[in-house]
Amino acid sequence: MRRRAFVRGITAVGAAAALPLPLAGAAAARPAATARRAASWREVPAPAGQPAAHLTALAAAGPGLAWAVGEQGRYGGTLGTPMALSWNGTAWSATDLSHLTYTGGLRSVAVDPSGTTALTLGTDTAGHDQLLAWDGATWRERAFPGRGAAGTKLTAVAAGPDGGFWVAGRHDGRAGLLRGSGGTWRWCGPLPDEAAPTPYGVRVTRGGEVWVFGDVIARWDGAWTVVPRNVGIRASVSGLLPVAHDDIWLTGFSYGVGGPPGKPPSVVLQHYDGTEWSSVTSPFTVGLLSGITADAAGRPDRISGWDFWDQKRAHYLRWDGTAWVGERGPESPSAYLPEAITAIPGTDGGHWSAGTTSFSPYPPAQIRVERLG
């Protein structure tokens, strides 16, 4: 199952699939609170979208330039329209997207290391996936091979240290990668298994290695190396951080087998040592992890999370060198489901987090943005 809005897979079509917020009477069943390191996350004001609204992806070029993309006006399984914000170092502002006729939201966003080129993805009303570039004021469509063709799918975009871009997706009936450099785009060789599912995430390491993840995990270096995936049944992968071939972190959530309607997911946090995946202890276990970041050296840094037992604060995880420890965001008047997290280049550990104020894609859900540092 893929991550979809809200958090791409958490909410299925219709109200019956939305998870309930904890009832007041459930407090007695909550696990005992544990001491946590004080965090310096804070809410940053952002212009509201049309309810229900949520932000699904972030990219930052530095302290004075960042982008957030998502969807507004969604109603259960009925798609809304795209929304986008930009940060100028002082405030978030809404981006005029009136020139786009799209269904659903923009998804995934990336910026090259120089901060001069930013890309995002969307789907037009004809159902064709599109690649869009930032022109300094808004997002404009760009041409790419296979654009508008049946079977072409773009799911996620990432920037490499050399300034090039990589887009996970599908072309000519096969899962693979679209590579962009200097304004020229080409499809790389597809995954070796013709039946391989379309990856819905892509990550480029500090050293330039390209990884795709989702229902398949694989590395591209001119040829494909597929890594076994072992997250269980009804599980989704939300993030992948390859530190080395024998040091890979994976985040996500799982609904497991069976369970009553509205059952909350369980946290998925795993580590790969080059041979096998092992589960890693998380500060909380009921909820989900929605993304993972690296520090400037490519080592694990932060994970964004939603804690079922304390939904009014994001539950971030911080790597202390030996374990992941809890780090809480500020309290929200309603709830906060962080759907995206990104490090801020040029800062001492700064991060952006963004998402929505409700687990359910119905009004009055609104966007929320938080910042660390």
Per-residue pLDDT tens digits for 162-211: 999 999 999 999 999 999 998 899 999 999 999 999 999 999 999 999 99
Q: Is pLDDT at 263 greater than 80 in this prediction?
A: yes
Q: What is the mean pLDDT of the chain?
A: 90
In the sheet that holds 129-134, the strands lie side by side as: 107-111, 118-123, 129-134, 139-142
Q: What is the pLDDT of residues 68-114, one digit of tens each?
A: 999 999 999 999 999 999 999 999 999 999 999 999 999 999 999 99
pTM: 0.91
| pLDDT value for 22 | 35
> What CA–CA distance (Å, rounded) separates 248 from 369?
28
Q: Which residues of 176-215 are buried (b: 16+ CB within 10 A; e: fewer)?
A: bbbbbeeeebebbebbeeeebebbbbbbbbeeeebbbbbb
Query: Residues near 25 by Cβ (< 8 Å), separated by ≥ 6?
Result: none
| Alpha carbon of residue 13 to chain centroid | 20
What are 338-372's pLDDT values in tens digits?
Answer: 999 999 999 999 999 999 999 899 999 999 999 99
Asked if residue 240 has pLDDT above 60, the reply is yes
Q: Please tell me the least confidently modeled range out of 30-39, 142-151, 207-216, 324-333.
A: 30-39
- Residue 34 confidence class, pLDDT cut points 50, 70, 90: very low
For the ranges 1-5, 185-189, 225-229, 311-315, the lowest mean pLDDT is seen at 1-5
Residue 32 has pLDDT above 80, yes or no: no
Instruction: Give the residue-averaged pLDDT of 272-299.
Output: 97
Helix runs in 71-173, H state only:
none
CA angle 1, 215, 21 (to 5 degrees): 30
